[in-house]
């Protein structure tokens, strides 16, 4: 949004604090459009907050986030939101802002959205995926409405999409094509963050679903992180796929040697019957093997 000429800031926190900030900004006439993030656990809060915004301030409200794609007519009716942005939003939202703020285009030509036309729900064709993730800007401190909550912590995703088909997750069912940022691009963002905090001990949190998908890439990224730790003080953690780590246990060595303090494993269940129902593609023996290997490699926290 900032790249496209709009002043945009985000907030993550409690609903009541979010409502207070909305009131503060709207009463100062500093807001033209509001976007709400919808996950599976806050659908009701999205409905209530959207209704409040529409009734009190009459502003356009966009709803996005992982749960947004599964929403439908009931949510549109109950919330009164103007539009739902489905799947990835970077290409969609600037078009929506052009429409809501400048009257450019029309909703029926914008890909990747759901909205109501009269009593009818319209679902437009899906938006194109962002193929070159290196083209996306880094998040900086100006992106935060109230500043970073943890000033020494950076959450970072190095890729999108998932080739797996876990029953409880939409990612593998939709964006099977995995797209990765280059290792250079990832390290550039991390180093830019660390350079601003030379005296602090920092935490880098890789939140990728598929961090351990490609052993060669994991090795290169870990080597670069290890070199970076010679200059800066930071700990880091990543997520790991059990079956992939079992088949390529050398990745555990790369991760441990680069100083990872914690690894989060997608174990999900302790019985094979449930694992199979979830379509996890892993076995109890593989889970035991990977946990032991992580422990023996010296990773302190196995989550």
| pLDDT tens per residue across span 121-163 | 999 999 999 999 999 999 888 888 887 767 899 999 999 988 8
Asked whether residue 4 is assigned to any structural domain, the reply reads no
Q: Is the pLDDT of residue 186 over 90?
A: yes
pLDDT, greater one: 27 or 173: 27
Integer Cα distance of 58 and 10 in angstroms:
20
Q: In this structure, are 184 and 275 located in the same domain?
A: yes
Question: Same domain for 205 and 263?
Answer: yes
Same domain membership, residue 157 and residue 34: no
Q: Which of 120-124, 167-171, 225-229, 243-247 has the lowest mean pLDDT?
A: 167-171
Of 99, 123, 147, the last residue of a domain is 123
140 and 269 together in one domain: yes
Q: Are residues 201 and 143 in the same domain?
A: yes
Last residue of a domain, one of 79, 95, 123: 123
**Phi, psi at 89, each rounded to 5°:** -110, -5
* 143 and 71 share one domain: no
| Percent of all residues in the chain with a pLDDT value above 70, rounded to a whole number | 98
0.75 surpassed by pTM: yes
Report the CATH number that the domain containing residue 108 is assigned in CATH.
3.40.50
Is residue 26 assigned to a domain?
Answer: yes
Residue 214 covered by a domain: yes
- Domains: count for the chain: 2
Task: Write out the two tokens for 271.
Answer: 């019985």
CA distance 303 to 295: 11
- Is-contact 103 60, C-beta < 8 A? no
Residue range 206-230: mean pLDDT, rounded: 96
The verdict on residue 198 lying in a domain is yes
- 170 vs 182, residue with greater confidence: 182
88 and 170 share one domain: no
Closest by CA to 34, choosing from 71, 80, 86, is: 80
What range does the domain containing 276 cover?
133-302
206 and 101 in one domain?
A: no
DSSP 110-145: -TTEEEEETTEEEEPPPPPP---GGGSPPP-GGGBS
What is the rounded average pLDDT for all residues in the chain? 93
Given CA atoms 17, 20, 25, 26 in this order, what sign does their dihedral have?
Answer: positive
pLDDT at 141: 82
Q: What is the pLDDT of residue 148?
A: 73
Asked whether residue 160 falls in the same domain as residue 29, the answer is no
Domain annotation covers residue 67: yes
pLDDT at site 175: 66
Within-domain flag for 6: no
Residue 228 domain flag:
yes
Strands (E), 134-206: 153-156, 159-160, 179-180, 202-206
Considering 67, 100, 123, which residue would you say is the last residue of a domain? 123
User: Are residues 92 and 143 both part of a single domain?
Assistant: no
* Residue 272 sits in the same domain as residue 151: yes
3 in a structural domain: no
Same-domain status, 104 and 201 = no
| Nearest-angstrom CA–CA distance, 274 and 284 | 11
CA distance 6 to 137: 14
Tell me how many degrees the CA angle 253-256-260 measures, rounded to the nearest 5. Answer: 150
**Per-residue 3-state assignment (H helix, E strand, C coil) for 206-233:** ECCCCCCCCHHHHHHHHHHHHHHCCCCC
Q: What is the CATH number of the domain that holds 254?
A: 3.20.20.70
pLDDT in tens, 45-89: 999 999 999 999 999 999 999 899 899 999 999 999 999 999 999
């Amino acid at each position: 949004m900032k790249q496209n000429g709009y002043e945009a800031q985000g907030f993550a926190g409690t609903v009541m604090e979010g409502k207070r900030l909305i009131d503060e900004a709207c009463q100062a006439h500093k807001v033209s459009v509001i976007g709400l993030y919808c996950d599976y656990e806050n659908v009701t809060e999205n409905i209530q907050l959207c209704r409040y915004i529409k009734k009190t301030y009459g502003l356009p409200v966009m709803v996005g986030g992982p749960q947004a794609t599964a929403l439908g007519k009931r949510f549109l009716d109950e919330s009164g939101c103007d539009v739902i942005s489905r799947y990835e939003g970077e290409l969609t939202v600037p078009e929506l802002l052009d429409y809501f703020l400048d009257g450019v285009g029309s909703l029926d030509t914008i890909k990747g959205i759901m909205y109501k036309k009269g009593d009818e729900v319209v679902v437009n064709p899906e938006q194109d995926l962002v193929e070159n993730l290196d083209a996306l800007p880094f998040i900086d401190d100006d992106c935060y409405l109230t500043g970073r909550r943890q000033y020494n912590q950076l959450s970072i995703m190095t890729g999108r999409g998932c080739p797996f088909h876990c029953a409880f997750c939409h990612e593998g069912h939709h964006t099977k094509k995995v797209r990765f940022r280059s290792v250079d691009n990832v390290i550039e963002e991390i180093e830019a963050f660390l350079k601003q905090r030379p005296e602090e001990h920092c935490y880098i949190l890789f939140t990728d679903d598929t961090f351990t998908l490609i052993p060669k890439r994991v090795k290169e990224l870990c080597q670069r992180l290890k070199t970076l730790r010679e200059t800066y003080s930071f700990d880091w953690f990543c997520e790991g796929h059990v079956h992939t780590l079992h088949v390529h246990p050398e990745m555990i060595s790369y991760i441990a040697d680069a100083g990872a303090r914690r690894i989060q494993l997608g174990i999900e269940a302790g019985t094979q019957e449930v694992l199979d129902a979830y379509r996890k593609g892993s076995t109890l023996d593989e889970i035991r093997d990977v946990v032991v290997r992580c422990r023996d490699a010296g990773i302190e926290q196995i989550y």
